[in-house]
Amino acid sequence: MMLHIPQVLTRSGVEAVRAIIDAGDWSDGNATSGVQAALAKKNLQLPLDSTAARDAGALISAALERSLLFVAGALPARILPPLFNRYGPDDAFADHIDNAIRVMPDGSRIRTDVSATLFLTDPEAYDGGELTVDDTFGVHQVKLAAGDMILYPSSSLHRVEPITRGARTSAFFWIQSLVRDDGRRALLFDMDMAIQRAALTLGQGDPAIITLTGGYHNLLRMWAEP
């Protein structure tokens, strides 16, 4: 499932994050790549342990906790601290699948189930730079407003198209989900959204809503992993 989450950051939130990271020390983006990905990637990245990445990451983590759509769509168990990248003229990241396992700051390991890109540059400011994702339903090209985020399965083949004008700055991170399987996560999300919509007209106390809500939670109980 691919999920567009509008306005994870407000306009002033984007400006606050950009003020922090734009003043940071950017370095070659291959520091976080596996050997094979490094061959295909050309961009800049804020070092993981830099003050700028930590401070801006904290603003984004707080915004994620407030986003009901993010929680419903990702069903997060653990979230890696956000990283930041910048693609300038001729930069790109060719087709790849993200590493399955990543290391948290405390040294523990998480499985990457969901990948997230939070756009921090308005689309008018650059040409190219689309995030292209091949999932089971076809090829999707994504270029969102600053502050908007896309979630996609970490198992999908994806790339960042070459930049032909301007620069594209984004935050990106991975989520280990309570529900590992993308199809199950998508089903739970669709159910959750449909129940919420139906409850608006029927009311939370309607017997059908109570049964459907119970069904949602019983599926989640069955599928949730520790």
Residues lying near Ni ion in the complex (CB under 5 A) are found at: 98
Nearer to Ni ion by C-beta: 91 or 98?
98
Phi-psi sector, 128: left (phi>0), alpha (psi -120 to 50), beta: left
82: Cα within 13 Å, side-chain hemisphere: 28
Exposed, middle or buried by CB within 10 Å (0-12, 13-18, 19+), for 113? buried
Closest distance of CB 55 from Ni ion, Å: 24
Closest distance of CB 99 from Ni ion, Å: 9
Closest distance of CB 128 from Ni ion, Å: 17
Nearer to Ni ion by C-beta: 28 or 206?
28
The CA distance from 148 to 150, in Å, is: 7
Closest distance of CB 115 from Ni ion, Å: 6
Which position's Cβ is nearest Ni ion?
Answer: 98
Nearer to Ni ion by C-beta: 98 or 130?
98
Nearer to Ni ion by C-beta: 98 or 161?
98
Nearer to Ni ion by C-beta: 98 or 148?
98
Closest distance of CB 158 from Ni ion, Å: 6
39: Cα within 13 Å, side-chain hemisphere: 4
Taking alpha carbons only, the member of 170, 188, 169, 168 closest to residue 178 is 188
